[in-house]
Structure formats: C-alpha cells, structure tokens
Structure 1
Amino acid sequence: IAEPFPQSACKRPNHGRRPRRLNIGVMKSPVEEVKESGSGVEVNGKFYDNSVDGVQEIIALMRKIEAGDVELAKSKGGSNDPTKPLLREKEENCLSAYFNRWKHKRDAPYLQSTNVVVWSWIGSFLGIAVLCYIHYEVCLKYTENLIFIVGSFGAQAVLLFAAPKAPLAQPWNAVIGNGVSAFAGICAWHIVGDGLGVMWLAGALAVSIAIVFMHWTNSLHPPGGATALIAVMEMKRVHELSFLYILFPAMLASMVHVAVALVVNNISADPLRSYPMTWIPFNMKPKTK
C-alpha cells in the first residue's frame, strides 16, 4: 500500500462549510471493501480524499488490520455489519496467554567439559579456602567480633569460578553488589527488625531494597540478596558488627575472592576462560537508535 500524501497538502479550503467526516463504522450500507488509493481511501468503490475528516484514522486502522492487531467485525450473514463498530480488537484468552509463558523456550544446555569442571573446582576450593583461613585463623583468633565469611560467599564462588563470563559475576558486581546489599540488610535490621520487632518484614525489605540498590548501581549480584538477608536473620555476631558488616566481610572479602578469581581463571590454557569480561559497569558509548 502506497503511503498517503500529507493531510495538510491535500486539504481544500472549507469556505465556512461544516467539514465532512467519514465514519465507515456507521455507514448506511455494509462495508464490503476498504482500500487505500492515491491521496485517500476508497470505500465500496467511492473515493474519499484526505480533505475528509476521519480518512487518516481509517488509514491507521487499515495498518492495524494488515499487522493482524484488529479484524473486521462480521455480521451473521458474513458481511460487515454497519450497525456495529467496523473494527474490534482480537479476543485472546488471557489465562491461556499467561500459561503459554511457562512453556519450554530453548534447548537445555550441554554438559560442561572436564576442563571447565576441573578449573571450577580448583577455583572454588582455593577461593573459599582463603576466606575461611582469614576468618578462622585471623578474625576469630585476634579480633573480638570481625568475621570474613558468610553463607552468601558460597553462591559467589559459583559465579566467580563456574560462570566467570556471566555479567553478574564481574568484579564490580561482586564487590559493589555485596556492599550495597549489606547496607540494605543492616538498615532493615535496625529500623524494622530490631526497632519494630517485625522480623519477617525486615527480611523481605532487606532483600527487595538490596535489589533496588543493585539496579541503581548496575551491580546486580545474586549472592547480594543472601548477604542482605543474613544481615537480618543471622547470628548475633553479625548484628554486633552493625554497619561494619558492609566492610567485614561484604566488600573486603569480596575483593579477596575476586583477586583469587583473577589469578585462577586466567591460568587455564583454555582461551575461552578468562576473567574479567569488564571492569567498567557502565556503557560509556553514546546510545544509537
């Protein structure tokens, strides 16, 4: 279908007369055929140019018909019923459409090669070993309340060593994501958990606010959700740390973990296994249309 001329270029002087308006939804005779022709539309063989008010709306609706967004409303006899709107939205079973989203959408991934499995094991073993050594042999022996590892670092090890190319496993995500999550968790504990005594609400707020903070800082990191929840529901030692929990262990231990990942992930001879994929989390290039 050819593009219509601009409406402003096709308007004729009105000379004080009431403008005509074409509304094919309430025409006296059934609408058998509508097509675009030149600078207007042709309805049942009669031409209407762009000077007629409503033609542009009809052309826009015709575009929707071609795209399949709308369809002609038919009467029982099969022709268009002039007493009903010409166009009606296609009906769709909302419940069926919702459950269609549950369907399998892609092939299952293949098993990883032995090389990937071995290096994932080596990296995770060394990473957690370093954190545990600092925790048990330094923090617990020589400090009163500092800790250097919590449960979320187990999840972090999976990302850093088993999926080092994942966007959520990059250094910025690991360090900043854990840091802002710890801040959200401690705030939720002080204000809602310890302050109001509503622990279930404190836990929910800790995780949800941590996700918001990670979005804002472009540092989404799944273990961060656990770091936030641990700040609310974990042992008394974490609560005693208060806002120091953001540094010990959330950010400093994450830095050590990332340092181990930098060494181990780049030792492998596999050219596809390298870390990190990016240091700068924000795209500095101008956005193209």
Structure 2
Amino acid sequence: MKKRLKRHYRVARYVVYRQTILEPVDHLWTFLGTFAAISSIGLIQQAGFTRQDTIFLIGSFGASCVLIFGATHSPLAQPRNLIGGHLLASLIGVAIHKCLPDQLWLSSALAVSLSIVVMQITKTMHPPAGATALIANIGSEKIIQLGFGYTLTPVLTGVSVLFVIALIVNNLAPHRTYPTQPLSWPGRFRGLRRRLQSSKTEST
C-alpha cells in the first residue's frame, strides 16, 4: 500500500511538473489566443446588446479557453469535444429546466450529471460544458427565456468564435498544432475508393 501511494505521488508530481514546464513564448500565445477569443465575443455582445439585447458571452467560455489555448494538445480541447460538448450540454440543460422549472436544485444536478454521461457516451468530453448545462438552469432570466435558442446563441455562436480563433492562433505558433489530428478528407476518400475497387475486382 505504501509503495502504491509513493508511486501515485511520483506520477502526480511528474504530471504537475510537466504542466508547468513551458517555453516562455507559450505564455504569449496562450495570452493572445484567450484575449482574442473572449474580446471578440465580448465585442459582438457589446455591438448587438443595445439593438437586440442578445447574450453572446457566458462563463463557461473562459474555462474552454484554458483548454484550447492553455492545454492545446489535450484530448479534451479538440474540436469534437469543444463543439460537441457545449452543444449537447446546452440542449440537455434547457430540456431539463423545461421539465423541472420550479426545482432548481434538482434540475441543476440532473443537467450537469446527464451532460457528463452523454459526453462520455459520445466521446465529446469537455469539462467547461458542464457549466454550460448549469447556466441553462441558474442563468439570468434573459438566458432562461431563450429556451432552446440558448443553444444557438450564445452557445453555438460563442463556440464558433472560440474554434476559429483557436485554429488561427494555435497554428501560427510553429510548435503548436490544432487540432492535433487534422481530418484528411481527400486521403480518406482515396482509401475508400481503393477498397471499393479491390472488392469489385475480387468479386469478378
């Protein structure tokens, strides 16, 4: 038991150590990406606020920036997780609130827990999305009134801005790549075509 605890401690210390060993230029790219993303969403809200009273900026986007700019290579920061996690969590959060509008403690707990399970099942785990589901239940009256429109704005609009800026900023730095495994559609189509051709020749 003692050896196991020591081993776990060494692993945890190594992980923390690795997280803190960054090139100084990394801090600059993290700052630039986060600043550009949040300020862009904030400016969109400021420009449209007086005319449409629309919400574009929610707290969970700040947590997403920690991942997509501060831990760019994390599986939890990849586009599938960023976009899928937020969208699924927002839909679940709104649906639960509509079913249990007067039981805030229960709707909040169900929204977050169900969102996590659905993200696990769909392989779209993105920790900040838990807050997106929670905000759908405990947010301001303005957010609550949006209903399923909450998924479109602020969630989809904000996530789209985060994604585009992450693509630009994280790929400007020579030592960063985002996403870590870009999808090569032409290569996939060529491989599929070869398999189809080979199956045809085998059948003849």
Q: TM-score range by the shorter chain?
A: 0.7 to 0.9
The amino acid of 2:29's aligned partner reads W
Matches within 5 A, 1:36-185: 100=5, 103-106=8-11, 107=14, 108-109=16-17, 110-138=20-48, 140-144=49-53, 146-185=54-93
Give, in angstroms, the shift of residue 252 of structure 1: 2.2
SS in 2 for 1:276: coil
The amino acid of 1:237's aligned partner reads K
Does the alignment pair 1:278 with 2:181? yes
Flag the structure with more relative contact order, 1 or 2, with Cα contacts below 8 A and sequence separation at least 6: 2
Does the alignment pair 1:248 with 2:157? no
The match for 1:213 among 111, 118, 123 is: 118
Structure-2 change in CA distance of 1:251 and 1:101 (3 Å): farther
Number of residue equivalences: 178
1:175/1:250 contact within 8 Å kept: no
TM-score by length of 2: 0.80
Give, in angstroms, the shift of residue 152 of structure 1: 0.2
Q: 1:244 and 1:279 mapped to 2: Cα distance?
A: 30
Q: 2:181 and 2:115 mapped to 1: Cα distance?
A: 22
**Structure 1 unmatched runs, 5+:** 1-95, 285-289
1:171/1:279 contact within 8 Å kept: no
Percent of pairs with identical residues: 33
Structure-2 change in CA distance of 1:241 and 1:279 (3 Å): farther
Summarize deviations over 1:240-264 as a string: whole Å, max 9, x none. Answer: 1000101111122101111011111
**Structure 2 unmatched runs, 5+:** 189-204
Structure-2 change in CA distance of 1:182 and 1:116 (3 Å): same
The amino acid of 1:155's aligned partner reads A
Structure-2 change in CA distance of 1:103 and 1:249 (3 Å): same
Q: 1:202 and 1:149 mapped to 2: Cα distance?
A: 22
Q: 1:130 and 1:152 mapped to 2: Cα distance?
A: 15
Give, in angstroms, the shift of residue 163 of structure 1: 1.1
Structure-2 change in CA distance of 1:101 and 1:133 (3 Å): farther
Q: 1:102 and 1:274 mapped to 2: Cα distance?
A: 32
Summarize deviations over 1:46-73 as a string: whole Å, max 9, x none. Answer: xxxxxxxxxxxxxxxxxxxxxxxxxxxx
2:96 matched to which residue of 1? 188
The amino acid of 1:201's aligned partner reads L
Give, in angstroms, the shift of residue 188 of structure 1: 1.6
1:47 matched to which residue of 2? none
Q: Which has a greater percent of strand?
A: 1
Give, in angstroms, the shift of residue 142 of structure 1: 2.2
How large is the RMSD of aligned CA atoms in angstroms? 2.1
The amino acid of 1:218's aligned partner reads K
4+ aligned runs moved over 2 Å, structure 1: 99-103
TM-score by length of 1: 0.58
Give, in angstroms, the shift of residue 234 of structure 1: 1.1
1:176/1:251 contact within 8 Å kept: no
Give, in angstroms, the shift of residue 101 of structure 1: 9.5
Summarize deviations over 1:63-84 as a string: whole Å, max 9, x none. Answer: xxxxxxxxxxxxxxxxxxxxxx
Does the alignment pair 1:226 with 2:131? yes
